[in-house]
A and B are shown apart, each in its own frame.
Chain A
Amino acid sequence: MAQAAHTLNSSKPLGHGHSVKRHTGLMDWLTTVDHKKIAILYLWAGGLFFGIGGIEALLIRWQLIKPMNDFLDAQTFNELITMHGTTMIFLGVMPIIFALMNAVIPLQIGARDVAFPFLNALGFWTFLFGGILLNLSWVMGGAPDAGWTAYTPLSTSTYSTTHGVDFYTIGLQIAGLGTLIGGINFLATIITMRAPGMTYMRMPMFAWTTFITSAIILFAFPAVTVGLVLLTFDRILGANFFEVGAGGNPVLWQHIFWIFGHPEVYILILPAFGIISEVIPTFSRKRLFGYSSMVFATILIAFLGFMVWAHHMFTTGLGPVANALFSVSTMLIAVPTGIKIFNWLFTMWGGQVRFTTPNLFAAGFIPTFTMGGVTGVMLASAPADFQFHDTYFVVAHFHYVIVGGLVLGLFAGLHYWWPKMFGRMLSEKLGKWTFWTFIIGFHLTFFVQHFLGLMGMQRRVFTYLPNQQFDLLNLVSTIGAGLMSVGTIIFLINIYLTSRKPADAANDPWEDGRTLEWTIPSPPPEYNFKQTPLIRGIDAFWKEKMAGNKGMTPAEPVGSIHMPSATILPFTMSVGIFIAGLGFMFSRDDFGNAFMSFMFNYYIVTAIGLIITFGSMLLRSLYDDHGWHIEPEELEGSERT
């Protein structure tokens, strides 16, 4: 398109002969703007952080295996629970969600890439550098220790004296920027890049949930951006937002955090709903039951998700009227969620169900997530919540919805789309081992925690006294955590063994694929679709199959395909933000070293970082990306005639 502009306003000839700079090896990954490669980057980075978060979880469970254990001290325990929650949510599961969105969404809507390939890369790199910054805290003076919710005043500099919470605020700020960029990108992609005939109500459910999730990201993340800025200003610039002595208000943090935080849990679970809604119809050989009600339920959940934040704050003393309103609005969410549960069950009902690994995870998801939903309704009742608040009952609840819901959904999605992403089928045998060890381990770990909570065990305590009937249940819980790690390790072994096999997955390796991604090779070529397909109904590919067609009807003739150029700028922009963040964090420190003090206390490091970032932005703005073309004769499978 940039070339079109040239022909308009300059005499330069059409530049089809642009020299294409092909990077290889590491530079290829650092400069890629291809959504399929960015998906793999998100998957590895997210997987790495997921592993770190998992190890933190195991350390927590090991400390709690017996009463009065001295494996960890209280401070380390606080750091571990804080980093476990923060890492898992922001750096583990969200990037893996983004991995699947990137891998699948452009294919499902029949697009050649996302609306903004450059921004897509930028979103990934800012997330990665935010995550690295956050985890650097372990080796730079102590991790954040105020819980993943960082409640004030505990997280203010009065009570949390290390730089830990600064790593939290600035690391999350940078990672959150990446998420926001990704959200806007997917919204624009789904609005404008759908193939001809792909109306909104013909979109696959995963595309729908990605769309709604992105909208929630757009409206929820700026709130936490502000919250983190306020906390940073309090801690580094001496502002008084949360300092009661100077007129500040600690409850303000809770409001801002949960106005973001509750929509955040729907950001996590809606993509899982989407994955399950793809997997179950495929392996039931039936179209999704109640597609329109599914779409409606998704939108309703997103809307209500913004109306319920104060149910996290029943015990702060908002008063009976506010508590009652937030109770009711919270319980309302059970209605659209229930619609979804029944739709999945009715999809399986009477279908030719095949229990492949993805479908096992999907089938395991339904009862597990429902259990998390039921405890959610229990917690929504404000008077009961006064009993449940800050106990292991809450811990059990949110692990049932996040692990039993989202993580099972992610496992389903990863097994399902693995052949599309990598061209290799994961081993079904090992996949089933993963499923059974993981789900049994999961229930073993968290089911007993309901009872621990009801019996009065507080969350976030680093140890407990013996003879309160906590001992056995905690032991069981720790054993379960071990079993979950066994499941995860089997999954990793499966990935390793699969990677050594030839990449020979068929276009439609599950044979019952219903959506567009199964019409093209696994993995897809750089340009995805040689010809943009014409969509004639819901489950476009299935519809063609039922009509006796081998593939989609093309909506355009074979022609040259315009591609965006690879660029290092997203990487350098993110490096710049990373440096600026580190510089700002240490700007009030006394280094006892004239050079270091000069560099940090006069904001020189911050300035260098910002110059790198804004300089990269300037370069991006000044030098137009003309892209390059893939000519028809270079397209796979095209014959010269």
Chain B
Amino acid sequence: MTTAHAEASKEEFPHEPEKATLEGRNKVLAFWLFLGGEAVLFGTLFATFLALRNQTNEGPSANELFHLPLVAAATFILLVSSLTSVFAIQAMHRNRPAVLRNWLLVTVVLGLGFLILEIYEFTQYVRHEDFGMTTSAFSSAFYTLVGFHGAHVAFGIAWISILIGQLMRKGLTVVTAPKVYVSAMYWHFIDVVWVFIFTVVYLLGKVG
């Protein structure tokens, strides 16, 4: 534990503040591990979806249901938000807290945009297509997989918003930096999951 003291007491701000302390390094490592577990979680949900995606129980099928333009817009928004979170981390590495905060704000706003489109999409299905959780095995698998991802996005939005508040109160330190860094890792992860959802659920639903 004494090593961290020595490293952090260097006067200039470290280039990778998220890894400047043992706590920070532990946090980043454990978060990689956690994402490994999350990958299994989504993997199982994808497997379930693939097993049940044609079981429509005389309800709407994927091909009848999905409107790709809306989903494509949501995809575009979420992918851009991943890019803006990269800009945020780059600003962090250059020790520019204000720029970091602004890019995080943009990320949160884009995440919210994605979430609103998804909620709109779900309400359309329930209200106009008669496609709810109980309609068919396909519908259950669809809402569970995509909903799990949506819940992850919602959690990420809340999390990053709280971190923006902390950055404004506490500034960018070797305590706040690892938090920002792992939140960005999380955000990239849910982006990657969405790429798979877009492919496996929506594209495959349209053509398969």
A residues touching B (Cβ–Cβ < 8 Å)?
1-2, 4-10, 112, 115-116, 180, 184-185, 187-188, 191-192, 218-223, 225-227, 229-230, 233-234, 237-241, 243, 246-249, 252, 255-256, 259, 556, 559, 561-562, 618, 621-622, 624
Q: Tell me if B44 and A256 are in contact (CB < 8 A).
A: yes
CB distance from A214 to the nearest CB of B (A): 9
Q: Tell me if A252 and B140 are in contact (CB < 8 A).
A: no
Q: Tell me if B23 and A1 are in contact (CB < 8 A).
A: yes
- List 23 A–B pairs whose Cβ atoms lie within 8 Å, in order of A's numbering: A1-B174, A4-B4, A4-B174, A8-B9, A8-B174, A112-B1, A184-B34, A188-B26, A222-B38, A226-B41, A226-B44, A226-B45, A230-B48, A230-B144, A234-B140, A238-B134, A239-B134, A239-B144, A240-B140, A241-B141, A241-B144, A243-B137, A247-B57
Q: Tell me if A248 and B137 are in contact (CB < 8 A).
A: yes
Query: In this complex, what residue of A is CB-closest to B22?
Result: A1
Interface string of B29-63 (1 = CB under 8 A from A): 11001101110110011011001100111000000
Task: Give the CA-CA distance A10 to B172 in the complex, in Å.
Answer: 11
Q: Tell me if B25 and A229 are in contact (CB < 8 A).
A: no
Q: Tell me if A116 and B30 are in contact (CB < 8 A).
A: yes
B123 at the interface (CB under 8 A from A): no
Name B159-175 residues within 8 Å CB distance of A.
Answer: 162, 166, 170-175
CB-CB under 8 A from B93, the residues of chain A are none
CB distance from B99 to the nearest CB of A (A): 17
CB-CB under 8 A from A622, the residues of chain B are 162, 166
Q: Tell me if A192 and B52 are in contact (CB < 8 A).
A: no
B8 at the interface (CB under 8 A from A): yes
Q: Tell me if A184 and B30 are in contact (CB < 8 A).
A: yes
Q: How large is the interface on B (under 10, 10 to 19, 20 to 34, 35 or more residues)?
A: 35 or more
Contacts A227-B44, A241-B141 given; does A219 touch B51 at CB 8 Å: no
Task: Give the CA-CA distance A252 to B172 in the complex, in Å.
Answer: 48
Q: Name the contact of B33 in the complex, choosing from A6, A10, A184 (C-beta under 8 A).
A: A184
Task: Give the CA-CA distance A2 to B57 in the complex, in Å.
Answer: 57
CB-CB under 8 A from A221, the residues of chain B are 37
Query: In this complex, what residue of A is CB-closest to B171?
Result: A9
CB distance from B143 to the nearest CB of A (A): 8
B residues touching A (Cβ–Cβ < 8 Å)?
1-2, 4-5, 8-9, 13, 21-23, 25-26, 29-30, 33-34, 36-38, 40-41, 44-45, 47-48, 51-52, 55-57, 133-141, 143-144, 162, 166, 170-175, 179
Query: In this complex, what residue of B is CB-closest to A248?
Result: B137
CB-CB under 8 A from B175, the residues of chain A are 2, 5, 624
Task: Give the CA-CA distance A249 to B38 in the complex, in Å.
Answer: 24
Task: Give the CA-CA distance A246 to B57 in the complex, in Å.
Answer: 5
CB-CB under 8 A from B139, the residues of chain A are 240
**7 more A-B contacts (CB under 8 A) besides A1-B23, A4-B5, A218-B36?**
A8-B9, A9-B172, A10-B171, A188-B26, A191-B29, A226-B44, A240-B135
Q: Tell me if A229 and B144 are in contact (CB < 8 A).
A: yes
Query: In this complex, what residue of A is CB-closest to B53?
Result: A247
**A-B residue pairs, 4 tightest by C-beta:** A247-B55, A247-B137, A239-B140, A4-B8
Q: Tell me if B37 and A240 are in contact (CB < 8 A).
A: no
Task: Give the CA-CA distance A199 to B109 in the complex, in Å.
Answer: 46
Q: Tell me if A192 and B29 are in contact (CB < 8 A).
A: yes
Q: Tell me if B166 and A116 are in contact (CB < 8 A).
A: no
Task: Give the CA-CA distance A230 to B51 in the complex, in Å.
Answer: 13
CB-CB under 8 A from B179, the residues of chain A are 621
Task: Give the CA-CA distance A116 to B26 in the complex, in Å.
Answer: 8
CB-CB under 8 A from A234, the residues of chain B are 140
Q: Tell me if B1 and A561 are in contact (CB < 8 A).
A: yes
CB distance from B59 to the nearest CB of A (A): 9
Q: Tell me if A5 and B144 are in contact (CB < 8 A).
A: no
Task: Give the CA-CA distance A559 to B1 in the complex, in Å.
Answer: 10
CB distance from A631 to the nearest CB of B (A): 14
Query: In this complex, what residue of B is CB-closest to A224?
Result: B44
CB-CB under 8 A from B135, the residues of chain A are 240, 246
Task: Give the CA-CA distance A622 to B135 in the complex, in Å.
Answer: 43
Q: Tell me if B140 and A5 are in contact (CB < 8 A).
A: no
Task: Give the CA-CA distance A243 to B135 in the complex, in Å.
Answer: 11
Task: Give the CA-CA distance A229 to B36 in the complex, in Å.
Answer: 19
Q: Tell me if B57 and A5 are in contact (CB < 8 A).
A: no
Q: Tell me if A259 and B44 are in contact (CB < 8 A).
A: yes
Task: Give the CA-CA distance A618 to B165 in the complex, in Å.
Answer: 12
Q: Name the contact of B37 in the complex, choosing from A2, A219, A259, A618 (C-beta under 8 A).
A: A219
CB-CB under 8 A from A247, the residues of chain B are 52, 55-57, 136-138
Contacts A1-B5, A1-B21, A5-B173 given; does A241 touch B30 at CB 8 Å: no
